[in-house]
Structure 1
Amino acid sequence: MPHADIHGNAVSTANRAAIAKLDEATGLMLGFRADPLAAIDAAIAEQPDFAMAHAFRAGLMVMSMERASVAEAEASIAAAWDLPVANDRERAHLAAAQAWCEGDFVAAHRGYAALAAAHPRDLFAQQVAHQFDFFLGNPAGLRDRPAAAMRAWRTGEEGFSWLLGMQAFGLEENGEYAAAEDAGRMALALQPRDAWAVHAVAHVMEMQGRDQEGAAFLERREADWAPAAILAVHNWWHLALFHLERGAFDRVLGIYDRAVAHGIAKGEAQPAIDLVDASAMLWRLLLRGADTGRRFAQLSMAWQQAGGEGFYAFSDLHAVMAHLGAGREEAAAQVLGAMRRAAAGQGTNARLTREVGLPLSEGVWAFSRGDFDRAAQLMAPVLPRARDFGGSNAQRDVLSLTLLEAALRGGDRSLAQLLAAERIAAKPDSPLAQAFWARAGGGRLAA
């Protein structure tokens, strides 16, 4: 009888200690807690020819979506590629990770999605496929993939709650807010420390303009999500976003300094996912006219330290925001140059950069120079397709805010009123939406 992990997926080793470490790494990854990499390295130390452990390690690198992780992913793949003991599922994991290393994100996505479909109890494949749905703007997959996998699980079974949390986020990204909140709260009832489910419910409240309720929800559950080292910064970002809605700049900057950019201020290397959140928050503050002090300068240096321009357009755009916010046009120009070279090449990111990332980045550049008409001309046609290059609805809202500000400052009243009307319809009680509506010259709001 083949040996299996805790959820019944066949593995190519009989070493129970190594399998236990793989199970531990999977649980840490699903909970976004530290340190799945250390746990999987321990599995490899126990059994150096454990193909799934090497594939798992490669997959962790894939989920970083950073060029700096490619070499490590390739090393993990090479360590297992020719192992005669590897089973078909393990080999499929390796092949999907290899496609990512080669810049074919679509093929990698397809590979992990196929694994998730064929092995619905493979929570690692489910998680990586879910993240690719996020990275490549596939909202239907975010919602439907975990729902399909649930058919192979019993409600309440250990591991089932993680799928509920994934489904909750997918439902939210498809605008199914009531169902999303129900799924997220059900996941939390089963597993209170599911930081992804907390994050999904926070997204619902953000999209519905429930800023005071959202802040209270995150603050009340802080002990559940704050220890989630891999996702904590993003949930702190959500808390700051709720406070920003009502113009509480001091509270926003306090959260930014304490929890979002603590390492940035100290000059420590940061993952791109955290730098993206920092850029988006500071750019929103810039749009609101807040004094951000030296924070943009520190963030700009952190992006330069991270490097890797031209690998993933969504990250590149946020690097451009940071450099421009710091007044460092030369650094922004270097990123734009890397994006233009990427756009002229092959692979998934070349297309995403050409079609979405580059025009949006050039629009942000025009905005920073006060050329608001040009910013609107560049951004308005592309914004409806911005989902294609990743991020959540809440994250991409910084682009909508920039376009709305460009329309207002450039005197394009028709565009400003259209965008302000969309915002007030989505969030009728939002002070920010109401302020935009007034600035756009909208009529009196109904009581």
Structure 2
Amino acid sequence: MLRHDRYGLPLSTSSDLAVEQYQTGLDLLLSLWPGTAQTLEEAITADPSFALAYAARARLHAIQAESAEARSRIVTAEELVARHGTERERSHVGVLSLAINGQSVKALNGALAHVDRWPQDILIMSLPLGAFGLFAFSGMADHDQARVDLCERHARHFEADDWWFLTYRGWAHGENGNITLGRELTQRALEVRRNNVNAAHAFAHVLHESGASEEAEAHITDWLPVYNRSGILHGHIAWHGALVALEKGDAERALAIYGEHVAPSASTGVPINVVSDTSSFLWRLQAYDHAVPAGLWDEAATYASHYFRQAGFPFADFHMALIAAATGDFRALESRVAALTDLVETGSLPAGPVVPAICRAARAFAEEDYAGCARLLEPKANEVVRIGGSGAQREIVEDTLLVSLMRSGEADKARALLDKRLHRRPSPRDTRWRNSLVSG
């Protein structure tokens, strides 16, 4: 006899315990909360033939960058669902298999087709959404709008207080510029389910985009202690706190947060978060005229040397370029740029020529060729969105352009860019920079 999940979707298992543990594990997975692995394993133990439990476990392995384990579990799910699964379950497992096996274009198309038929299948609907989702890493220039469109197309299928949908709908609107709605939705999501790091993260991003530094600091200080240090995004939420301190010009506080939560020796995050958070923080620190303590860049480089060796993942490529540029490893940087250029020329890099360009700009900046850096970045400024990630993460590229303009004597261009940024959101740092240009 079929059981059902909380949205009424049939589940091919005869075990009530398996359903209970699967639903709990799915909620933990979609809120990125500790305990997910154990709970999903208990669902598998309760019914070793329950395909969707293996599929959800495979998804968690993939999030944790445990590729071999993810592939093994999704193969088991495919074998089981082929023997006794509904059409929806077979499609569910098939889409996850495409994503886990790196077939991102097919996975995105499959996910969109799947949720058109089963919009409340939230594990599949989650795949295109978020900063690291299939839309964000598709190379699309309009992926922020695409997330909004997906959420709004299916909003009628979710209750007003559905914490999962509130989280992702709020994230989508906040990143797409509707700060008021984004804040309303993410704040409500956190009220409905406080143990939800995705909502806490989305709310931090909305506060960042609105320039609410004091509120962001209070939010992170209040919420982070409830999230165990083993949580995947613990270090990344702390990274947001370090950025707030930098916004306020408090490098000492920012470095303290970095050392306690963000640095490779402290973070329990997955490699993409650790590499991007460490490199972007240290790059900002020096770009904002603060000294980077000895050894921090080397520590980041040592950690990063184990990951993302092959070019072709634009978000990682850019952050690896920052590390190489900052540590003077220009041979590695140029090798990556050459590989990226080849991919662009063969049409194999959907994000396009912006990727090698911003990597070259990182070297120019590190070599204090600020005019050259600005020449590389200015024509590509509107294309940086193609590398994926969030607005807060990509802001480092615009910061690098802005500092390059100021240091190369392009005061008028720097003022124009600052005015545009300050119109979009107030920023203590940008205000200080704008005032310095006026007084200068």
TM-score by length of 1: 0.87
Name the counterpart of 1:244. 246
| 1:273 is aligned to 2:273 | yes
Aligned match for 1:153, one of 148, 158, 172 = 158
Alpha-carbon distance in 2 for matches of 1:106, 1:381: 27
**Relative to 1, partners in 2 of residues 1:334 and 1:223: Cα closer, same or farther, differing over 3 Å?**
same
Identity %: 25
Name the counterpart of 1:5. 5
State how 1:308-327 maps to structure 2 within 5 Å: 308-327=309-328
Alpha-carbon distance in 1 for matches of 2:269, 2:98: 27
Alpha-carbon distance in 1 for matches of 2:153, 2:160: 13
Give structure 1 stretches of 5+ with no counterpart: none
Aligned match for 1:374, one of 356, 372, 380 = 372
Counterpart code for 2:433: F
Name the counterpart of 1:230. 232
Shift of 1:342: 4.4
Name the counterpart of 1:91. 90
Q: Deviations over 1:120-177 (max 9, x none)?
A: 3222122223132343462123334344444223333xxx112111111111111111
**Relative to 1, partners in 2 of residues 1:274 and 1:93: Cα closer, same or farther, differing over 3 Å?**
farther
| 1:48 is aligned to 2:45 | no
State how 1:56-71 maps to structure 2 within 5 Å: 56-63=56-63, 69=67, 71=68
Shift of 1:442: 7.8
Alpha-carbon distance in 1 for matches of 2:325, 2:359: 10
Name the counterpart of 1:132. 134
State how 1:23-422 maps to structure 2 within 5 Å: 23-63=23-63, 69=67, 71-82=68-79, 83-101=82-100, 103-130=102-129, 131-136=133-138, 138-156=143-161, 160-225=162-227, 229-261=231-263, 264-265=264-265, 270-293=270-293, 294-340=295-341, 342-343=343-344, 350-352=349-351, 354-422=352-420
Alpha-carbon distance in 2 for matches of 1:125, 1:259: 31
Shift of 1:102: 5.3
Alpha-carbon distance in 2 for matches of 1:51, 1:125: 15
Shift of 1:438: 3.4
Give structure 2 stretches of 5+ with no counterpart: none
State how 1:432-443 maps to structure 2 within 5 Å: 432-441=429-438
Counterpart code for 1:72: E
Alpha-carbon distance in 2 for matches of 1:59, 1:219: 30
Q: Is the 8 A contact 1:420 1:440 kept in 2?
A: no
Counterpart code for 2:313: Y
Alpha-carbon distance in 1 for matches of 2:194, 2:60: 24
**Relative to 1, partners in 2 of residues 1:183 and 1:412: Cα closer, same or farther, differing over 3 Å?**
same
Alpha-carbon distance in 2 for matches of 1:211, 1:318: 25
Alpha-carbon distance in 2 for matches of 1:48, 1:333: 49
Q: Is the 8 A contact 2:224 2:237 kept in 1?
A: no
Counterpart code for 1:211: S
**Matched length:** 431
Alpha-carbon distance in 2 for matches of 1:346, 1:3: 46
Alpha-carbon distance in 2 for matches of 1:169, 1:96: 23
Alpha-carbon distance in 2 for matches of 1:212, 1:61: 36
* Greater Cα offset, 252-261 or 419-428: 419-428
Q: Deviations over 1:365-403 (max 9, x none)?
A: 221112222212222222202112211111111000001
Shift of 1:258: 0.4
Shift of 1:308: 4.5
* Greater Cα offset, 246-255 or 5-14: 5-14
Q: Is the 8 A contact 1:195 1:228 kept in 2?
A: no
2:94 counterpart SS class: helix
Q: Is the 8 A contact 1:287 1:402 kept in 2?
A: yes
Q: Is the 8 A contact 1:120 1:150 kept in 2?
A: no
1:306 counterpart SS class: coil
TM-score by length of 2: 0.89
Counterpart code for 2:414: A
